[in-house]
Amino acid sequence: MLFILPLLEKSGEDEVNQRRINLKINGMDHEVNVRPDEVLLDVLREKLNYTGTKRGCDGTGECGTCTVLIDGRAVYSCLFLAMDAVGKEITTIEYLAKGTGLHEIQKAFLECGAVQCGFCTPGMILTAKALLDENPEATETEIKEAIRGNLCRCTGYVKIVEAIRRAGENYGK
Ligand code: FES
Ligand code: FES
């Protein structure tokens, strides 16, 4: 009981501090209560069930697994306040496949063997999308530069770069 009481008080405070906001995710509006200090990653995963977005580090911007697109730009959702995403277009990995039809980048990752454990893959693919949407003819150097903030512990990156190049060749065709 001695332990529970402070916890209850804290959770009550948290509720008081919450504000109701609207987030536009993958083209759909979501009403959600958030604290002012709550980051987008936690809101996506824990309140809205967009679990394709991963947490690979302590929210310190070290791994890139939490990458989502905000107005088409790749950002770390662990470092982005949910409240700052109001009025912006948020895109998560769940948006890319249409039914059973995979997005060009997803297809290329599979074809090139660029997925092993898959933990980095959602963030890597969204980073690739931000790049290819702007520049489908990105060179190997530009691809490496774009994904330098996305860590992969399994593949050695060669196949990931190859997959992004291949996706670029088929982009929009
Ligand atoms: S969770 Fe590692 S950079 Fe966001
Ligand atoms: S495929 Fe395992 S971390 Fe990239």
Which CATH number do you get for residue 65? Answer: 3.10.20.30
Give the closest ligand to the alpha carbon of residue 58.
Answer: 1
> Is residue 12 situated within a structural domain?
no
| Ligand 1 contact via 46 beta carbon (within 6 Å) | no
CATH at residue 150: 1.10.150.120
Q: Locate tokens 């209560």: which residue?
A: 33
Lowest mean pLDDT among 1-15, 133-147, 157-171: 1-15
* Section 102-120 average pLDDT: 97
Contact by Cβ (8 Å): 124, 117:
no
Mutate to test the pocket of ligand 2, among 109, 110, 120, 160 (most ligand atoms within 8 A of CB): 120
Last residue of a domain, one of 50, 72, 95: 95
Which of 36, 71, 95 finishes a domain? Answer: 95
Domain assignment present for residue 166? The answer is yes
Half-sphere exposure (CA, 13 Å, Cβ side) for 40? Answer: 28
Of 95, 114, 130, which residue is a domain's last?
A: 95
User: Is 4 inside a domain boundary?
Assistant: no
- In angstroms, what is the span from residue 34 Cα to ligand 2's centroid? 31
Determine, yes or no, domain membership for 45.
yes
Are 69 and 110 contained in the same domain?
no
* 24: in domain: yes
Top pLDDT among 172 and 45 is at 45
Under the banding of pLDDT at 50, 70 and 90, the label for residue 13 is low
The answer as to whether 90 is a domain residue is yes
- Which residues does 74 contact at the CB level (< 8 Å), separation at least 6? 67, 68, 126, 127, 129, 130, 131, 146
In this structure, which ligand is nearest to the CA of 157? 2
Q: Residues, the chain, total?
A: 173
Q: What would the pLDDT profile of 128-144 be if each residue is shown by its tens digit?
A: 999 999 999 999 999 99
Predicted confidence band of residue 12 (pLDDT cuts 50, 70, 90): low
- Would residue 1 count as lying in a domain? no
Which of 150, 154, 161 gets mutated to test ligand 2 (max ligand atoms within 8 A of its CB)?
A: 154
Q: Which is more confidently placed, 3 or 99? A: 99
Q: Are 62 and 78 in contact (CB under 8 A)?
A: no
- Report how far ligand 2's centroid is from the alpha carbon of 153 (Å): 5
91 and 23, same domain (yes or no): yes
Tens of pLDDT along 15-68?
778 999 999 999 999 999 999 999 999 999 999 999 999 999 998 999 999 999
Measure 150 CA to ligand 1 centroid, in angstroms.
Answer: 9
Look up the domain containing 124 and give its range: 104-170
Please state the atom number of ligand 2 nearest to the C-alpha of residue 154.
2
Same domain, yes or no, for 67 and 117? Answer: no
Of all protein residues, the one whose alpha carbon is nearest to atom 3 of ligand 1 is 61
Confidence class for position 6, pLDDT limits 50, 70, 90:
very low
Query: In which band, very low, low, confident or very high, does the pLDDT at 14 lie, cut at 50, 70 and 90?
Result: low
In the chain, the number of structural domains is: 2
Question: Does 63 sit in the ligand 1 pocket, CB within 6 Å?
Answer: yes
pLDDT the model gives residue 72: 98
pLDDT band of residue 94 (cuts 50, 70, 90) is: very high
164 and 141 within one domain: yes
The answer to whether residue 2 is domain-embedded is no
